[in-house]
Chains A and B, each alone.
Chain A
Amino acid sequence: MNESRTGATPKGRVLIGKPGLDGHSRGAKFVAQALADHGFEVIYTGIRRTPREIAMTAVQENVDVVGLSLLSGAHNTLFPAVLAELRARDGADIPVIVGGVIPDADIPGLLAAGIVAVFTPGTPVTTMIAAFEQACRGRNP
């Protein structure tokens, strides 16, 4: 049953994108779709984005959270690069959640660098949505 909701506020604004040279967008698109189906406004940037493109988009769109998907193995380089570009644009307060093929051994380093959550294959979608809800809470009230 469809119900019109004029002026309804979304749960949050989220950027979903893929930094670097990997074209496997199925995971990113799946998460984007799941978030939209759960009441988020999702700005989908597509594949092969540079850290600067992602940071400038996040700032212009004033998103509550940035979500990055990466399967190329360059996570230890590209995720911190996105954080640095966000800091350079006064966006250090925007939380960054990441997912993809990321070895367990690399997760503590990413968290220490400032990533708020890391999701690896097999994570239930409800867990990811809950993390985005949590990260949006209290932002841009």
Chain B
Amino acid sequence: MSDPDNLTDDWPALDQRSLGRLMTAIEKRTTEGKRFSASLQSRDWPGLTVGLTGPPGCGKSTLVAALIRELRGRDKSVGVLAIDPSSPRTGGAVLGDRIRMMEAATDDRVFIRSIATRGHAGGVAPAVADLARLLRAAGYGWVLVETVGVGQGEVDIAAQADVTLVVQAPGLGDDIQAMKKGLLEVGDLLVVNKGDLPGADRLALDLSRWITGAAEKICRTDALTGEGVAGLIERIERLRHVPLAAAARPGARREEIRGHALALLAARLDRRLRERPLPPGDTWQAAEHIAAEILNPDA
């Protein structure tokens, strides 16, 4: 069944071994992986992709674990893509998100895959959209994509997910943080996690005051105890009926192509910087020179 040279695109029949191998092929853009990506993009798949983003330590992984528990209680199959950063120095990574999700480790209707960013900016990795399609095609109807712990501007997940949760926790800043543009704006729902901690009320208040439309978007959870998680799932389910699914948004395909093109250009840029001498002049002139070189290789 799972001969690595003989993987099929009979998605629902794939066992977990085959699915794991196929993901590697898609990530590495092998000849087979390219074929699978094309096949996966040839139609829409049932199910829902939910993105979770937010700063490190706000409880994203623990919230994913709580969502898995609640969804399994409702007899749903769940796929998880958990993204962590690669080291810019060595290319290595410690992928530790799934340690929070171990109670689902032997459930064969839960599939969890850790993904390293491999130098890509924006909080997700280029293959994530196809890997989410693959999980849905294979019958994991709820796909939870956990981004790297982000700062304030990493909003790429919003283009790839049907519903984006921006997770926040108390204790990470004052109301000026809530006023800033960027991450907080892209959430379809704003989750105030660690709802048991002092400051959670204040955070919810600051968000509702400063983010346009936030009052209707705020969900309070305590992922450790599971409080508020059932309500969060109901909020997500209600949103799925609003025409905001990625497939229905005209910009979704453009944003995905933009992400892939950026990744290709960035890889060429890094290779150029590494392998050949830097142009003379100030840093702006040198950058313009290199950009022209990459965009017009024959000039």
* A positions within 8 Å CB-CB of B: 2-11, 32-33, 35-46, 49-50, 52-53, 56-57, 59-62, 89-91, 140
Contact = CB atoms under 8 A, between A and B. Distances in A.
Interface string B95-125: 1101100100110100111101011100000
Interface stretch (B11-19, B40-48, B178-186, B204-212): B11-19
Given A6-B266, A8-B119, A32 B94 contact: yes
A26 to B, nearest CB: 15
28 contacts: A3-B88, A4-B88, A4-B266, A5-B270, A6-B270, A7-B266, A8-B118, A8-B119, A10-B91, A10-B116, A32-B94, A37-B92, A38-B92, A41-B93, A41-B114, A42-B94, A43-B95, A43-B98, A44-B94, A44-B95, A45-B98, A45-B99, A49-B105, A59-B16, A60-B111, A62-B21, A89-B17, A140-B24
B274 interface: yes
B17 A90 contact: yes
A49 B102 contact: yes
B8 interface: no
A5 B99 contact: no
A39 B87 CA distance: 8
Interface residues of B, number: 44
A62 B1 CA distance: 15
B269 interface: yes
A42 B94 CA distance: 5
A56 B105 contact: yes
A55 to B, nearest CB: 9
Nearest to A32: B94
Contacts of B116: 10, 41
B92 A40 contact: yes
A4 B120 CA distance: 9
B101 to A, nearest CB: 10
Given A5-B270, A7-B266, A7-B267, A33 B24 contact: no
Q: Lowest 3 A-B CB distances belong to which pairs?
A: A62-B20, A36-B92, A6-B119
B113 A2 contact: no
Given A7-B267, A59-B16, A89-B16, A41 B92 contact: yes
A6 B99 contact: no
A52 B15 contact: no
